[in-house]
Amino acid sequence: MSITKESELIGMKKISEVVGLTLKLMREYAKVGMSTKELDEYGGEILKSYGAKSAPYITYGFPGYTCISVNEEAAHGIPSKKKILKEGDLINIDVSAELNGFWSDNGSSFVLGKDIHNHQPLVDASKNILHKAISNIKGGVKIADIGYLIETEARKYGFKVIKNLAGHGVGRSLHEKPENILNYRVKTNRERFRKNTTVAIETFISTNSTMAVELNDGWTLVGNKGGYITQHEQTILVTNNSPVILTKSNEIWS
C-alpha cells in the first residue's frame, strides 16, 4: 500500500510489531517433543491478545493461525498434533495478521536445538541474503535488480532460489501489488519500488530445488527436486534512503 498519512504509518507499525513479536516468541517457545499444533495455538493466543486476526485464516481459510513448515516442507505447512518437533529440525514459521484494517507479514527459518543435520549454513545464507537485499531497496530501484541480487548471492553460498514463490505488496490486504517480488531477475520486468509503499520481502533459498510444488493436502509446499528450503521475510516501508524495517520486533537478525 501507499502510505499517504501518519495514521496509516501508525497502523502499519502497530500490526507489524505484533506479527514480529509473535514470530519471535514462537521461535523461543518451540521445544523438542512439542507438536506444531501446540506451537501454532501459542502463536494464535498472542495474536488474539493484541486483537489481531490470522491473515491466512481470514484470507484463505488456512487450517491454522500460522504456517509452520518442518524439514523438507518449503512453505504453508499445516499445524498438526501428529507432527512432533525433533532435535535438529529445520523449522519455518510464517506469521501474518490483520489489525484495524492493516496487514503485515513476516517469517523465519531456524534450527531447533543442536544443528545435527548441518542446516545452519542454509539458514544463515537466507538471513544474510535478505538483509543485503533489503539494504539495497529504495524508491526507484528495479524489482528485477533485487531479484538478481538474491539469486547471485544464493549462488555465492552454493545454493539455489525457488522461482515460483515471491515477496509482495502488503498493507490493506495480505497480498497487493507489486505481486511478484521474485528471487531472481526477470529482464522484462521494468517495475520499480516506489517511495512510501509497504512491501514484504522474502528469500526462498534452496539446496536442490528451483520450484515449489503442492502436496495432496492442498496447502503444503515442497521442493520439486527435494532437499531443503529456508525462508526469511520482513515487511518494510520503502523510502528514498534506507528502508524502515516495520517487523524488526522479530529480531531475526539478532
Q: Residue 72 corresponds to which amino acid?
A: E
Question: Binding residue per annotation — 115?
Answer: no
Question: Binding residue per annotation — 124?
Answer: no
**Helices and strands in the chain, H and E counts:** 5, 13
Q: What is the dihedral of CA 179, 202, 63, 55, to 10 degrees?
A: -60
Residue 191 CA to residue 48 CA, distance in Å, equals 37
CB atoms within 10 A of CB 156: 10
What residues contact residue 224 under an 8 Å CB cut-off, 6+ apart?
Answer: 209, 210, 211, 212, 213
How crowded is the C-beta side of 26, counted as CA atoms within 13 Å?
38
First to last CA, the chain: 28
Point out which residues pair with 235 in neighbouring strands.
200
Question: Binding residue per annotation — 145?
Answer: no
Which has the closest alpha carbon to 231: 185, 173, 171, 166?
166
Question: Binding residue per annotation — 119?
Answer: no
Residue 223 CA to residue 75 CA, distance in Å, equals 10
Question: Binding residue per annotation — 87?
Answer: no
Residue 51 CA to residue 168 CA, distance in Å, equals 24
Q: Please, are residues 205 and 122 in contact by the beta-carbon 8 Å criterion?
A: yes
Question: Binding residue per annotation — 28?
Answer: no
Q: Which residues are annotated as a binding site?
A: 76, 94, 105, 168, 175, 202, 233
Q: Which residues are annotated as a binding site for substrate?
A: 76, 175
Q: Which residues are annotated as a binding site for a divalent metal cation?
A: 94, 105, 168, 202, 233
